[in-house]
Structure 1
């Protein structure tokens, strides 16, 4: 075999070895797990808890009159007859609850109708929205401390009604007093005190 042919053969072999080395290097570089994108079929599914609202702490209140203690108003008014109530909830998949009413007498011929309404929202976020949407609707709200997550009281702008409203997680409760004739300042403050005590006693009973 001539020297020229040997040179050609070695040149081909050298070229082949270089090509093989290059392929091995490329395979090593591309073969790592970090270099390849994950197949679309193996992408993690969204966390269901991230898109589904967690249920609230409180179940829908029922038979509220069995839990409300109107004796909190004993220092201000005197209950007349038995309390009367009913369950509420035209949209039970959104919110439902219960109401209790009690008629009370005042000095002289005065009368006060006290009502308590508590409702539980399935979605706590809806409870927050509803609570905020009515703030200031009936009258200028005054912040109240020591009740639930947030609370306020108000004197109605267009009637003698006074009330206190509280939200705790998904629970919304309101105590309202409708007097005839209107309350004086002392009766109003005493009514607010009684409402605060009533709600502070009632709310823990509604957690189960």
Structure 2
């Protein structure tokens, strides 16, 4: 059976092109490759640039990391004056890359995170048997597992919600998708919560 292959030439500005090739086993970008089996962290970011309130450029960035701390960066962009087809090409490539990584590397990374010895950290959040802790500049706070209600995407970030001491649902913590493996936060919260409450 032939392996799935996705290939596309992506713009970096108006003149430069970068070649992206995806298979279920490899990510190749601009002549460099990383095996999907070696990927242990994923960070994503879409930045929209403005000048005097007018959109000028959109940049897509994905950073992959292996177990030895090696980073593999992919980025491309399109300007507001480029054709609509170019914008659609960039968005499709970004979505295809993220979907492939979620399918092929996601279950392994999520399983590793959920089953780590506790306490462990994911970005600014510390997971323990007692709940999720987040430290601020002036204080730290905890959301016990039974109080956590959901994780939802808002304005490009994930937010963890819980029932506070007044019995109302409130935002407990926010995590940027730029942080390693923040893209898997809903699955990690759900998995660790189920693991703790089952004990």
Please report the TM-score for the alignment, with normalisation by the length of structure 2. 0.23
Larger relative contact order (Cα-Cα within 8 Å, sequence gap ≥ 6)? 1
Give 1 or 2: higher strand fraction.
2
For the pair shown, which has the larger CA radius of gyration, 1 or 2?
A: 1
TM-score, structure 1 as length reference = 0.22
